[in-house]
Structure 1
Amino acid sequence: MPSGGGPADHATAGGPDDDDEPQHVSEEELFDVLGNTRRRNALHAIVGAEERTHELGELSERVAAWENDVDVAEVDYAERKRVYTALQQSHLPKLDDAGLVEFDKDRGTVDATPALEDVEIYLDVVRGDEIPWSEYYLGLSAVSAALLAAVWVDAYPFTMVPDLGWFAFVVVAFAVSAAVNRYFSTGMKLGGDSSPPGVE
């Protein structure tokens, strides 16, 4: 596994326990890593498996099955080989450099690292042209504040609806937004038995 500098900024030298400290992965790096479907699929398979160490061959079959929308048993040699080669030569080394996995090319094995736990935090903001939920809630808060301020000063036409009605509207808007947020966040979670989360 490569060590030393780079944007992933592996554990800083200076103490005997440095190797045990979780590596920080920058937001920019996560955007880059999660922006590729095959890397995202590989991470999904790694997080969802019970075992710590993953064989490259089995990982390739799982990813190829998702990409071709078939069962693992139906993946043919060409499909598996294409994914195997790409993971070995490009994607797993990139994930290793980012500190999300430890890839042993000689042994053909992949291990998750503690830094991989941070990935789920960013899945909801790596969704192409969609608005991140954090920005959505900021916007909803601003609109709600403006609405309630208008109600407070009895601005027309807000006086046509009772004050309690507007307060109820704001509460319902946040409740519905939270429910939708939770629904989509569940679909963006890495790991598990479901198909990988779609970002594009």
Structure 2
Amino acid sequence: MATSSESQPAQTDPAGRDEQSREGEIFDLLSNRRRRYTIHYCKREDGPVTLGDLAEHVAAWELEKEVEEITSAERKRVYTSLQQTHLPTLERADVIEFDDRTIELTDEAAELDVYLDIVPGDSVPWGVYYLGLSAVGAVVIAGLWLEVVPTEPIPKLGWATLVFALFAASAIVHVTQTRRMRLGEMERPP
């Protein structure tokens, strides 16, 4: 007996790739720091960029230096790598248009944001945070049902409003932080 996923044909994009193939290609693209830095710089500049400027900024970010401190050799090493490997790879994936000297993001590049949930190393992943917040909410609700939580100073509706307010405030912070951490939103790539 065929399962529902086996009986339905795989969805394909205009280039004839199925969703899983495209998703694997996107993760492969984003697995390389120089390609992420390229996307970040192009998003930040919001228009065509030159290969020379891109190479300088990528080298500076990789070496944690200012652009002015980059040597000719450091710039050339990144320039060559971008020109020969990374830009053609991004172009084949239809993320950029590259004409030997200038680079510009395509509309496909906007789809990459969904794959870039960047969590700083010193913070709790949002999924874990929401799980903990749900546990707190469940304890409060269970306490209200079992009449263990006091309802004298704060009525039941007040407790429910407090739990809702915690989720709403958390969602606002989450959305704000996620937008701020996207490629192209900050000076230096996340």
| TM-score for both structures, normalised by structure 2 | 0.70
Residue 154 of structure 1 aligns with an amino acid whose one-letter code is: L
- Structure-2 separation of matches of 1:108 and 1:120: 26
After superposing on structure 2, the runs of 4+ consecutive aligned residues of structure 1 that deviate more than 4 Å are: 125-128, 159-162
Gaps of 5+ in 1: 1-8, 14-24
Residue 14 of structure 2 aligns with an amino acid whose one-letter code is: A
1:32/1:132 CA distance change after superposition, 3 Å: farther
Structure 2 residue 115 is matched with structure 1 residue 122: yes
- Structure-1 separation of matches of 2:130 and 2:185: 31
Q: Deviations over 1:53-106 (max 9, x none)?
A: 3221221011112222333222111110121122122222221222211233xx
- Structure-2 separation of matches of 1:132 and 1:94: 30
Aligned-residue Cα RMSD (Å) equals 3.4
- Aligned match of 2:175: 182
Q: Deviations over 1:133-192 (max 9, x none)?
A: 4x4576367536634652453264x45885345324412421342243134213312224
- Aligned match of 2:25: 29
| TM-score for both structures, normalised by structure 1 | 0.67
- Structure-1 separation of matches of 2:72 and 2:13: 36
1:110 partner SS: strand
Identity of aligned residues (%): 38
- Aligned match of 1:4: none
- Aligned match of 2:42: 46
1:177/1:79 CA distance change after superposition, 3 Å: same
- Aligned match of 2:106: 113
Gaps of 5+ in 2: 1-11
Q: Alignment length, in residue pairs? A: 174
- Structure-2 separation of matches of 1:109 and 1:10: 27
- Structure-2 separation of matches of 1:34 and 1:61: 20
- Structure-2 separation of matches of 1:126 and 1:11: 32
Shift of 1:41: 0.9
Match of 1:81 among 76, 86, 93: 76
Q: How does 1:1-200 map to 2 (within 5 A)?
A: 11-12=14-15, 26-51=22-47, 53-104=48-99, 107-124=100-117, 133=126, 135-136=127-128, 139=131, 142-143=134-135, 146-147=138-139, 149-151=141-143, 153-154=145-146, 156=148, 158=149, 162=154, 163-164=156-157, 166-192=159-185, 194-197=187-190
